[in-house]
Amino acid sequence: EGRASPLPEETPVRPRTWFRLLALFAALGLFFAACSTEDDSSPSDDTSEEDEQESSGPATCQGTPGEDPALEPVGGGEGDGSGLKIGMVLDIGGVDDDSFNEAAHAGLVAAEEDFGAEVRYVEPNEDGSNRGELLRQLAQEDYDLVIGVGFLFAESMGPLADEFTDVNFAIIDDSSLTQSNVTPLIFAEEQGSFLVGAAAALASGTGQIGFIGGVNTELINKFEAGFAAGVAQIDEDAEVDARYITEPPDFAGFADPASARTMADDMFDSEIDVVYHAAGGSGGGLFEAAVDADRLAIGVDSDQYQQVDEATQPCILTSMLKRVDVAVYTAIENLVNDELTGGTPLVFDLENDGVGFATDGGQLADFEDELNDLRQQIIDGDIEVPTTP
pLDDT digits (tens, 9 = 90+) for 87-97: 999 999 889 88
Asked if residue 319 lies in contact with residue 303, where contact means CB atoms within 8 angstroms, the answer is yes
Please state, for a pLDDT cut of 90, what percent of the chain lies above it: 81
Q: Which of 375, 107, 122 is nearest to 233 (CA)?
A: 375
Best CA proximity match to 301, nearest among 105, 132, 60? 105
pLDDT at 7: 40
Using the predicted structure, report yes or no on whether residue 164 has a pLDDT greater than 70.
yes
* pLDDT value of residue 113: 97
- Residue 167: exposed, middle, or buried by beta-carbon count in 10 A (0-12, 13-18, 19+)? buried
Please provide the average confidence, as pLDDT, over all residues in the chain. Answer: 89
Cα gap 166→149, rounded to integer Å: 20
Q: Can you give the pLDDT at residue 98?
A: 76
The whole-number average pLDDT for the span 27-36 is 46
Give the chain's end-to-end CA distance (angstroms, integer). 106
Mean pLDDT of 119-146: 96
| 3-state SS class at 96 | coil
Q: Are 147 and 168 in contact (CB under 8 A)?
A: no
DSSP conformational letter for 11: P
Sheet holding 355-357, edge to edge: 239-246, 208-215, 274-278, 296-301, 316-322, 355-357
Euclidean distance between CA atoms 213 and 260, whole angstroms? 9
Contacts of 155 (CB under 8 A, 6+ apart): 132
Neighbour-count burial of 241, counting CB atoms closer than 10 A to its CB (0-12 exposed, 13-18 middle, 19+ buried): middle
Give the global pTM.
Answer: 0.82
Q: Could you read off the pLDDT of 327-381 as tens digits, one per residue? A: 999 999 999 999 998 999 999 999 999 999 999 999 999 999 999 999 999 999 9
Residue-wise pLDDT for 314-329, tens only, equals: 999 999 999 999 999 9
- Number of CB atoms found within 10 A of residue 171's CB: 28
The answer for residues whose C-beta is within 8 angstroms of residue 298's C-beta and 6 or more apart is: 196, 199, 200, 274, 275, 276, 277, 316, 317, 318, 319, 320
Q: What is the pLDDT of residue 50?
A: 42
What's the rounded Cα separation, in Å, for the pair 300 and 387?
17
- What are the pLDDT digits (tens) for 58-117? 999 999 999 999 888 999 999 999 999 999 999 998 898 877 899 999 999 999 999 999
